[in-house]
Chains A and B, each alone.
Chain A
Amino acid sequence: MASLTITSTRGDTRTVEGAAGLSVMEIIRKAGFDDLQALCGGSCACATCHVHVHPDDFARVGPPNEDEDDLLDSSNERTPTSRLSCQIPFGPALDGLRVTVAKEG
Chain B
Amino acid sequence: MPGLPGATTRFDVLIVGAGHAGAHLAMSLRQLGFAGTVALLGDEPDWPYERPPLSKDYLAGAKPFEALLLKEPEYWASKDIATLRGRRVVSVDPAAREVRTSDGAALGYGVLAWCAGGTPRRLPCAGAHLAGVHTVRTRADVDLMRKELATATRVAVVGGGYIGLEAAAVLTEMGKAVTVIEMQDRVLARVAGEPVSRFFEAEHRARGVQMMLDTAVSRIEEHNGRASGVRLGDGTILPADMVVAGIGIVPAVQPLLDAGAAGGNGVEVDACCRTSLPDIYAVGDCAAHRNRFADGGSIRLESVQNAVDQALTAARAITGAPAPYDVVPWFWSNQYDLRLQTVGLSTGHDALVVRGEPAARSFSVIYLRRSAVVALDCVNATRDYVQGKALVAGALVLDPAQLADTAQPLKALAAAAAGRA
Chain A: interface size category: 20 to 34
If A34-B27, A34-B31, A70-B386 touch, whether A43 touches B332 (CB-CB below 8 Å) is yes
Q: How far is the CA of A44 from the CA of B341 in the complex (A)?
A: 10
Among B71, B332, B386, point to the contact of A34 (Cβ < 8 A).
Answer: B71
The 10 closest A-B pairs by CB, nearest first: A45-B332, A67-B382, A70-B383, A70-B382, A74-B386, A41-B50, A32-B75, A70-B386, A34-B27, A39-B304
Say yes or no: is A88 at the interface (Cβ < 8 Å to chain B): no
Say yes or no: is A2 at the interface (Cβ < 8 Å to chain B): no
Contact yes or no, A41 B68, CB < 8 A: yes
Q: How far is the CA of A30 from the CA of B72 in the complex (A)?
A: 6
Nearest Cβ in chain A — how far from B223, in angstroms? 38
Say yes or no: is A3 at the interface (Cβ < 8 Å to chain B): no
Q: How far is the CA of A47 from the CA of B339 in the complex (A)?
A: 15
Nearest Cβ in chain A — how far from B194, in angstroms? 23
Q: Which residues of B contact A20 (CB under 8 A)?
A: none
CB contact list, B77-107 vs A, under 8 A: 78
B 368-400 binary contact with A (CB < 8 Å = 1; else 0): 000000000000001101110100000000000
If A30-B72, A45-B341 touch, whether A40 touches B382 (CB-CB below 8 Å) is no
Contact yes or no, A26 B67, CB < 8 A: yes
Chain B: interface size category: 20 to 34
Say yes or no: is A94 at the interface (Cβ < 8 Å to chain B): no
CB contact list, A1-58 vs B, under 8 A: 26, 29-30, 32, 34-35, 37, 39-41, 43-47
B 63-79 binary contact with A (CB < 8 Å = 1; else 0): 00001101110110010
Contact yes or no, B386 A40, CB < 8 A: no
Contact yes or no, B27 A40, CB < 8 A: no
Contact yes or no, A73 B386, CB < 8 A: yes
Contact yes or no, B330 A41, CB < 8 A: no
Contact yes or no, B67 A46, CB < 8 A: no
Contact yes or no, A40 B72, CB < 8 A: no
Chief secondary structure at chain A's binding surface: loop
Among A32, A43, A44, A67, point to the contact of B71 (Cβ < 8 A).
Answer: A32
Say yes or no: is B179 at the interface (Cβ < 8 Å to chain A): no
Q: Which residues of B contact A47 (CB under 8 A)?
A: 386
Nearest Cβ in chain B — how far from A16, in angstroms? 11
Nearest Cβ in chain B — how far from A22, in angstroms? 8
Nearest Cβ in chain B — how far from A50, in angstroms? 13
Say yes or no: is B153 at the interface (Cβ < 8 Å to chain A): no
If A30-B72, A34-B31 touch, whether A45 touches B339 (CB-CB below 8 Å) is yes
Say yes or no: is A71 at the interface (Cβ < 8 Å to chain B): yes
If A26-B67, A41-B52 touch, whether A46 touches B332 (CB-CB below 8 Å) is yes
Q: Which residues of A contact B72 (CB under 8 A)?
A: 30, 32
Q: Which residues of B contact A32 (CB under 8 A)?
A: 71-72, 74-75, 78
Contact yes or no, A40 B52, CB < 8 A: yes
Q: How far is the CA of A54 from the CA of B70 in the complex (A)?
A: 26
Contact yes or no, B332 A40, CB < 8 A: yes
Say yes or no: is B308 at the interface (Cβ < 8 Å to chain A): yes
Q: Which residues of B contact A39 (CB under 8 A)?
A: 304-305, 308
Among B53, B308, B341, B383, point to the contact of A37 (Cβ < 8 A).
Answer: B308
Say yes or no: is B334 at the interface (Cβ < 8 Å to chain A): yes
Contact yes or no, A43 B339, CB < 8 A: yes
Q: Which residues of A contact B308 (CB under 8 A)?
A: 37, 39
Q: A32-B72, A39-B304 are in contact. List 9 more A-B contacts (CB 8 A).
A: A32-B74, A34-B30, A40-B332, A44-B339, A44-B382, A45-B334, A67-B382, A70-B382, A70-B383
If A39-B304, A43-B334 touch, whether A29 touches B341 (CB-CB below 8 Å) is no
B 47-58 binary contact with A (CB < 8 Å = 1; else 0): 000101100100
B 303-320 binary contact with A (CB < 8 Å = 1; else 0): 011001000000000000
Nearest Cβ in chain A — how far from B328, in angstroms? 11
Q: Which residues of B contact A44 (CB under 8 A)?
A: 339, 382
